[in-house]
Amino acid sequence: MPIRVLVVDDSVFMRRVIADVLGQEPDIEVVGLAADGLEAVELARRLSPDVITLDVEMPRLNGLEALRRLLEERPYRVVMVSSLTREGAEVTVEALALGAVDFVTKPSRGWGQEAAAVWGELGRKIRIAAQSRVRPVHRQVPPAGHEQVPPIPGAEGRGGATGCYVVLGASTGGPQALMEVVPGLPRTLAAAVLVVQHMPAGFTQALAARLARAGALPVREAGDGQVLQHGEVVVAAGGRHLRVTRGGRIGLDDGPACLGVKPALDVTLLSLAQAAPRRVVVVVMTGIGTDGTRGARVLKEQGAVIVAQDEATSAVWGMPRSIVSQGLADYVIPLPDMAAVITSLVGEGA
């Protein structure tokens, strides 16, 4: 059966363009068009689409409020269509944190080479979304929740040393998952935390700001030459690879994409393998593809601990499944327990 899609956009022209483009895909069927968020909620109830494409900026009820209402009713699979502006990036990141599966950036024109690439990406993400799991809207948990989970056997006394890193890698479904993990980490975490989320330039600064507001740890977007510190979270800049030097300094890389993504988790992990830190915990979370497997294998040979998110709590069990199938995972952990496991592994400082 084709994937049944509801298209939501306040522009008549853009609705028609998206419908025409998707209508050419043999496995996608556009079953409805909505002009704003209120109409989207009503049509979603009536049509029960497999996937909804949702414009960010709309009258009466904007994309963010429409998303909240939709997800309160049932776990709709939603792909946001965002403008590439600061405001658009902030709203899009908020939507991803709430449970939207993914997003694309709206082209400046409906047709042309730029638009063709965007609409091709939209079709690909609709297919991924149709197969994804949608989790309930995130409810903030107190950072002290890690104390309710017993330490992993053998982890006692191994954390807290200089050169300890936790690397969180994610793709599809990652922002919502990160919103559950990063705020659960204590301010005294004895490690520097690196976040590698597959995301284009212009959106990771908003992601870092959103994570910073939600938890106890300071969070910032990576800057070239910055020194990593314990008890701090650094988010890889969109559209650039993040490397770590032996001195714990960040290097941003404008080289080609790796496995079709940039930033790539593999690039960061392989740079850490060369930097030879004292301890590394690699956490591979929800996402499509195999990014992170190669780097995790090299680091595991050096003694790193590899953690994979479990299938039941992953929006897309691709990246973590690759880790598990290759026999690299030391632990396979449900998302609600992830912050506790990380804290148990690396320990806390003063």
As annotated, the active-site residues are 171, 198, 291
Query: Residue 72: how many CB atoms within 10 A of its CB?
Result: 10
Which tokens go with 106?
């709206």
Please give the C-alpha separations between residue 233 and each of 43, 73, 178, 183, 264, in angstroms, as whole numbers.
Answer: 41, 34, 11, 11, 17
* CA–CA separation, 217 and 169 (whole Å): 18
| Cis status of the peptide bond prior to 263, with omega within 30 of 0 | yes
Which tokens go with 255?
């080289």
Query: Residue 246: how many CB atoms within 10 A of its CB?
Result: 11
* CA–CA separation, 14 and 260 (whole Å): 28
- Exposed/middle/buried for 12, CB within 10 Å: 0-12, 13-18, 19+? exposed
DSSP codes joined into one string, 266-331: HHHHHHHHHH--SEEEEEE-SBSS-TTHHHHHHHHHTT-EEEEE-STT-SSBSHHHHHHHTT--SE
What SS3 class is residue 343? helix
Q: Are strands 279-284 and 164-170 parallel, antiparallel or unpaired?
A: parallel
Residue 132 phi, psi (nearest 5):
-90, 165
Q: Are strands 241-244 and 250-253 parallel, antiparallel or unpaired?
A: antiparallel
* CA–CA separation, 186 and 347 (whole Å): 10
Which tokens go with 268?
């960061």
